[in-house]
Copies of this chain bind each other. A is one copy, B any other.
């Protein structure tokens, strides 16, 4: 370890590189209501949110699972900051790979929420 290493670096989480992101896993990740909600919240926040910010109606261990699916598919980026784990949308990578897709998906999710009266 070098002098620039931080505690957070040593706990780094595996992410797919931009060019490793594939469409099918991304769609699969977003096809779960819980995960789609995480992503829409994240898009609305326009920044990083801690896992505990989300009040999901599932057990904590299930929540961990959903965040991992999103990370491993390349939809979000996760970093440790102290005890918190921060989550951010990989907007730049997704927009570069699939232009317009993320916006269309977020718009679709928002329209559906309106349609269903939420």
Chain A residues near B (Cβ < 8 Å): 19, 22-25, 27-28, 30-33, 36, 97-101, 103-105, 107-109, 111-112, 115
Minimum CB–CB distance from A95 to chain B (whole Å) comes to 11
Cβ contact within 8 Å between A24 and B33 = yes
Copy count, this protein chain: 2
> CB < 8 Å: which of B97, B103, B109 contacts A23?
B109
Chain B residues in 8 Å Cβ range of A109: 23
A32 to B111, CA, bound (A): 24
Cβ contact within 8 Å between A23 and B112 = yes
> CB < 8 Å: which of B25, B27, B36, B107 contacts A100?
B107
A97 in contact with B108 given A23-B36, A27-B31, A31-B24 (CB within 8 Å): yes
A64 to B32, CA, bound (A): 24
Chain B residues in 8 Å Cβ range of A32: 24
> CB < 8 Å: which of B23, B28, B30, B115 contacts A108?
B23
Chain B residues in 8 Å Cβ range of A99: 104, 107
Minimum CB–CB distance from A27 to chain B (whole Å) comes to 4
